[in-house]
Structure 1
Amino acid sequence: MQTPSKTSQLGRPKTPRLSRKAIGRAALEMFQEEEGLSIPRLAERLGVRQSSFYKHVTGRQEIIELARGALVEKATLPEMAQGNLDQVIRQIFDSLLRAYSLVPALLPLLLAQPVSHPAALALYDRFAEAFERAGTPRNLVIPTLETLDSAAIGASLDAMTMESAWSISDEEQSDYPHLYAARTAVAEQPVDRFSFLADVLAAGLRSAIKAAD
């Protein structure tokens, strides 16, 4: 039997160049830096041929899910939200908002497919447990998680855009008097819209729980 040469032994990598975790991390970086996903460009980043991906993933949708898992790993998220219902909602909403703000380009794609990455499922399982401990009926846990998730994604995208959604000049105030007056009032007495949104979500959940009793 022929003994492999030292050259061939040195040239063979000790660990595989490509893995599902590496694909997810590189995809997340691409979304952060290039605001989109290109599989040819992703292959370039990883130094492999595009065909190599399909030994590890089935296609684009799975790569997006691996990027979701990489985001869970990268973001600072609570091990377990604790406290009463209002506190749990605020902790989870704030943590999701911080995570999603890291990579706004990925968010519309996350909304288009169900959560299936083990790390993400484990995180939402902890969130579900926190809501149960805070007194949320089990049949309301999933709607609550879905609402919080959608609200955090929307708020993250909103934070990246314009400061105000309303463009009304002083000359137009008589055409839209109520909207103009409301915009003036909030400019004089600012409201943290993200805290306000978390409070509205908490109030809505409390109302739903009361109605279910």
Structure 2
Amino acid sequence: MQNPSKTSQLGRPRTPRLSRKAIGRAALEMFEEEESLSIPRLAERLGVRQSSFYKHVTGRQEIIELARGALVERAPKPELTSGSLDDVIRQTFDALRTAYSLAPALLPLLLTQPVSHPAALEAYDRFAEAFELAGTPRHLVLPVLETLDSAAIGASLDAITMESAWSIKEEDHGTFPHLTAAQRAVAEHPVDRFSFLADVLSAGLRAAIRDA
């Protein structure tokens, strides 16, 4: 005669078929591969019915936040050394841009809701601590983080969109002489726009913090 408990164990998977972490990871993979989020397609990826999601999440917004958490877990952990303010600004910007570049299609949706995932909050808490240790007044910590976050998201989206933000036909060069000259100049003297952005952010934020 079979042991009832053994039969029960054999009839159930040892690990839950669906979990919040599994939903977040699958949603992130969908953003990476399909550049969009479809609840029916996500259910198909996970091999469950769509109604099963609502035992774990309240809806689409929470799934997006779980994808944010999965993105934080996927991204390399930033090395925030106790250094100068300039170092912390650059390290934070680079860490954010590296993370966001993993799933650019997710970024517009992240902008529509506040950060609430514990893994993401922990990462931002580390950034906040690094800025405090570098001498940033506490009332400027969030504005600094928001500025760097917005710049990193913009840079990540910009990296996948286009080579140049301006398209001027050759016959129109005389109509737009200054913009055309600027295009030629940057072609002759290339500038790494992300390093340039980091320089501008660093100089601006250092000045704002110094004068606060």
Shorter-chain TM-score: which interval?
Answer: over 0.9
Report the TM-score, using the length of structure 2 for normalisation. 0.94
CA contact (8 A) 2:101 2:156 kept: yes
Match of residue 137 from structure 1? 137
CA contact (8 A) 1:155 1:194 kept: yes
Match of residue 161 from structure 2? 161
Q: Deviations over 1:94-153 (max 9, x none)?
A: 111111111011000001100000000000000011111111111111011111111111
Q: Deviations over 1:58-78 (max 9, x none)?
A: 110000000000000001121
Q: Distance in 2 between the 1:207 and 1:40 partners?
A: 49
AA aligned to 2:156 is: S
SS in 2 for 1:190: coil
Q: Deviations over 1:27-66 (max 9, x none)?
A: 1011111111111111111111111111111110000000
AA aligned to 2:10 is: L
Match of residue 189 from structure 1? 189
Q: CA deviation at 1:17?
A: 0.7
CA contact (8 A) 1:86 1:199 kept: no
Is 1:120 the counterpart of 2:137? The answer is no
1:22-37 aligned within 5 A:
22-37=22-37
Distance 1:66 1:139, change over 3 A: same
CA contact (8 A) 1:97 1:155 kept: yes
SS in 1 for 2:4: coil
Q: Distance in 1 between the 2:9 and 2:116 partners?
A: 39
CA contact (8 A) 1:81 1:92 kept: no
Match of residue 67 from structure 1? 67
Distance 1:11 1:25, change over 3 A: same
Match of residue 43 from structure 1? 43
Alpha-carbon RMSD across the aligned residues, in angstroms, is 1.6
Match of residue 14 from structure 2? 14
Is 1:97 the counterpart of 2:106? The answer is no
Please identify, of 65-74 and 48-57, the stretch whose mean Cα deviation from structure 2 is larger: 48-57
Distance 1:6 1:137, change over 3 A: closer
Distance 1:129 1:40, change over 3 A: same
How many pairs does the alignment contain? Answer: 211
Q: CA deviation at 1:211?
A: 2.1
Unaligned ranges ≥5, structure 2: none
Runs of 4+ in structure 1 deviating by more than 3 angstroms, as ranges, are 2-9
Q: Percent identity?
A: 81
